[in-house]
């Protein structure tokens, strides 16, 4: 997982602070990481390693033209789809 001393806006894999991608999960098991454009594939692999593959645990992928931070503006997608 990531170093606890990293900033909320710092890439999971390097020191870049221009992160435009995020993978998160608001239910248990919790997960919230951001990544820069250079580390998209590594971020997907890391989330698969932590959350597993093919076991029904969903994750939300967010992409932005601006900068993202861990823990901010997380939307519980499961509740959004249940309301529909």
**What does the pLDDT look like over 15-42, one tens digit per residue?**
999 999 999 999 899 999 999 999 999 9
Structure tokens at 1: 């997982």
What pairs with residue 31 in β-bridges? 25
**Measured between alpha carbons, how far is 60 from 44 in angstroms, rounded to an integer?**
11
Query: Can you list the pairs that 77-82 forms with residues at least 24 positions away whose Cβ atoms lie under 8 Å?
Result: 78/27
Q: Tell me the pLDDT of the chain averaged across its residues.
A: 87
Higher pLDDT, 43 or 82: 43
Helix segments in 1-84, DSSP class H: 40-51, 77-83
Provide the whole-model pTM.
0.81
The phi and psi torsions of 48 (rounded to 5 degrees) equal -65, -40
How far is the C-alpha of 59 from the C-alpha of 28, rounded, in Å?
Answer: 11
């Amino acid at each position: 997982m990531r170093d606890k001393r990293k900033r909320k806006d710092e890439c999971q894999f390097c020191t870049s602070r221009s992160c435009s991608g995020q993978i998160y999960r608001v239910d248990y098991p919790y997960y919230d990481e951001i990544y820069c454009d250079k580390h998209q594939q590594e971020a997907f692999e890391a989330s698969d390693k932590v959350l597993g593959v093919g076991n029904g645990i969903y994750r939300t992928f967010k992409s932005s033209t601006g900068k993202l931070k861990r823990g901010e503006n997380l939307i519980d997608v499961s509740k959004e789809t249940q309301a529909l």
